[in-house]
Structure 1
Amino acid sequence: FCRLVPVAAAVVLAFVQPPLAQAATASERAAPEPPSLMDAQLFYEILLGEINAKGADPATGFALLLDSARRTNDSRLYQRAMEIALQARSGDSALQAAQNWRLAQPESREANRYVLQILLALNRVSDSIPALQRELALASPTQKPQLLAAIPSLYGRVGDRALAARVVEEALEKEERDPEIAGDAWAAVGQLRLAAGQTPQALEAAQAGLKLQPGSEAPVRLALQIMSPKTPGAEALVKGYLDRYPQKGEMRIAYARTLLDAQRYAEAQQQLVTVTSNQPELAEAWLILGALQTEENQQPQAQKSLERYLALAGAQAPGEARQRGLSQAYLSLAQLAEKRQDYAAANDWLSKIDSPSLLTTARTRRAAILGAQGKVDEARALLKSLPTGTPSEARTRLMAEVQLLRSQKAYEEAMQLLDTAVQASPDDTDLLYDQAMMAEKLGRFDQMEKLLRDIIAQQPENQNAYNALGYSLAERGVRLDEAHQLVSKALELAPNDPFISDSLGWVEFKRGRLQEAIQILDKAFQTKPDPEIAAHLGEVLWVAGQRSRATAIWRQGLTLGRDNETLQDTMRRFNVKP
């Protein structure tokens, strides 16, 4: 009994104390202030209810607390009754308490929210329609967009996702016709349709929302999620919106990010240049543009973009987002300095990184710099100091060491590390893929092929495995028809990947189809200027008799990556000087 008294006393004290400012606004709470004193019978009932709830009879405790809540009309006691029911795993009793609370305080959004959430937890999805409609009715006009945006998450745990989409569509019938919030309403429906695998219907929802509320961003953000080669209407919606509202810089940035995810780098860069031209004050656009230009080896442009970001970020208020953005910029600037072989400057930039999420990345870059300077033992010692407290941290350290050893052509040591890692995680396809690539470096082609086919068996849509196997066969000039089938499958899975297009062009070259190879490789190089693609395109051009253009392509490739082994070997074979 003594163990339970402090708990009961805390509830009683909370009840008799004057109300404090809480999450719900005054308009959401219709209950009167509790009296400063309570009668003995009520005090005893609450105390007894708590004792029963903590003891062997939670049902009695629930009944006593719910009765006290009804007598006092106090929201905290209704909430406590619900807690007791939920702790006893009695969803129906929790729903009873929430419904009693809502009946007693019909203007309370908090009470209605509990009813809605408990109905969904009990999988009474269809029964949730009135509660969802009431929640919207109680919300102010300024609150409704945020509430509508939260609906997909609220219904996200419903097992029957198609049912969830239908229920929400029915519940939002009024909002779907309201030109002030139709875009937000249809976007919520579309999100649930998308979660249910109904992609065409999700796009229809986005289109309906934007038609009724042309300026709404919610349907456009939904369309960005839907964007794929199979749903061209989604991108058409996004482009049309940006044509009508060219000053929507943040939306254009979101579009650029989607293009980057689709590996459509040139188009993404075009969108970012448009943002920085129209709204140069948007710091985020400069940061993404600078990072992209760094990856595309546009070093002078990247330096300017990142410096512009730093100038804009300096005027921002301190915070986690600013810290993370600055650290990303420092990382890109370090990468640029590293490409110039200015290792002192690279380390200076890395030393500025203080975002926790990028500290490990900074240290791995420091190790890579040490490796490039021939200080391999120091580099490995630095990597050994990386944290390994979580599986993710252990994986990061392992792969950094493997990459270091690969850069030093210590393939056997790298393979030993990967073998140990695969023994511990035999179903990790990423590790299997790295192991396969290392087996190829060691000339163990049978092992490489077995590993890649194991990956394909486990993940039939792993484009990298198809591509690597097809490219390897072509590179060795064996089973070329099979190589073509494999790389074509990879390109079907990732149609915008320029490196897979490079593989296909190389396969066509090995099959003697020079013009087809030139066409494919030319397009791949335009999409992604890369030294490896330059090596392949140049070789095909040379064999096709276009030697001056081949030489120009190779020299352009050198500006993108002078240390690329494939490019160096190719130029050496054809006696072309850098």
Structure 2
Amino acid sequence: MTLRALLTLLSTALPLAYAPFAVAQGDTVSAPAPSAAPDAASEIRVEPLRTPLDGDFVFAWLVGELALRNGQWGQALEAYERAAEAQPIPAVLDRWAQTALLAGDAVQFERILTLWQWLAPDDARLQQLAAHRERLNARFEAQISERIAEILKKDPEQRERNLLGLPAALAELGNPTQILRLIEKAVAPYRDEPAAHLIVSEAARQAGDLDRAWAAAQAAVALRPDWPPALAQLAQVALDRFAPELAIPILAPAQERQPEALTVTLALAALLAETDHPERAVALLAPWVERGVTDPRLIDALATFGAQGIEPEQCARWLLRLAKERPEARLKAAQLWLAREQPRRALRLLDPRALPDELAESAAALTAQALARLGRVDEALSRLEAHAPLSGVDAALREARLWQEAKQWEASRAVLIDALATFGDVPQLLYDYAILLERMGARDSAEGYLRKLLAMRPFDVHAINALGYLLADANRSLDEAERLLRMARALKPNDGFIMDSEGWLRFRQGDYSSARRLIEAAWRRAPDPEIGDHLVAVYQALGDEARAAAWRKRLARQFPGR
């Protein structure tokens, strides 16, 4: 057995762990064994519906029931999710949750309980399921841990490879804390192997435990000082901690000892880019460009540094040089100039004659973006239509977003109003319109549209986050904002924009230390100018004027034209 088999085991171990869990408490649906579909006569809880019975709900429920009868768990899950969105009441959530158990979908099961907790925290059935959660997880983790131990022990020659593949194999669990727990248990017998510490570091980083991540990365480097993956991990954790100075003294001599290791060079460059002299990052890459190395990682680094305002002219020239062998580097150079608010320079690089056919669609999208920023929205639409024609709602959304690229807010608003009148309350139209209204300063109207959207789609995590952030930013209804943003974080724990929203709520509440931790983590995942502004505000609130000034300078460099 190899680690590849773990992906299959993950889909089979959970139903085995949960199979004995079949509760029939009078008004609940009995959970059948995984090998059989539920009996058609299973008793369903009878509850008042939130809204009159509608066709969408009835259709989704019937599809779910038929799919269960045929053992099609995935289709049943999708159907019950649609039914729950139409009628988010405990009886529907119960059926959906039990289907997740049958499907062996731990991520979905946890998500359903989280939503249920949000919508009906006092429901007795929810409390019953939640009370069993730890026991179920323990059984599941015990089975998975046993299988992992067998794999790692059986083939010592492949142990390092299997260890390094473990985080990816476990990623589908979707719970960073659980993944860290499983990995720490799996590597316990192998503390003398650097790969064990490396994967603990990455799991801890994903779980937000940066102190644990740093200690484990240091241990990996101590055991194998010139191992590129360990050095790169150390650099990444230092960046996450906003402390590049901790890793530079380790990475710099390591890079001198092995100048041919691109991984180490790129890791050191990423650290140098965060210092007071970021130009050193670009200089470090010069030998690789001169040798004609066309590694995609080098191209990405040049594009990233240039887009951040670190030697953009030099980075663009080098990208065009590498484009002779890697045509995608030309697109990266165009993206660089778009980031620098120079759409005309981007357009000059997007001549279709200079690009292969497989890049034509990506080039058309960048061309449309550049044209829109120049105010040529009609031309931008024509370019996109030629490559990827759209109609109906999708066409309206495309046009509205291009007008926003042109900063023509009223034109975008007109398109969305017309689309809502034509197509009705389509969720994505409501969301885009609400976000546009908030950007235009019409916060009360934006709030109304977000609440309307959530009444239709109560599990829309982006709408939940947007409403929570709007309330936090307005510094009102902070208790409701807290409830919304906790839900958003539970559904998408590593989303940078959701982290920023919660961080800004903590700022409004006066908890500046928590705000700093969350917003710094948000920046690493989504380096957005508004998140950067939040960082400046937090540093000022903490009395760190030097850091606030440095970040104002950084934001001015990275986001020109603001």
Report the TM-score, using the length of structure 1 for normalisation.
Answer: 0.48
Q: Which has the higher contact order (CA 8 A, sep 6+)?
A: 2
Q: Which has the higher Rg, Structure 1 or Structure 2? A: 1
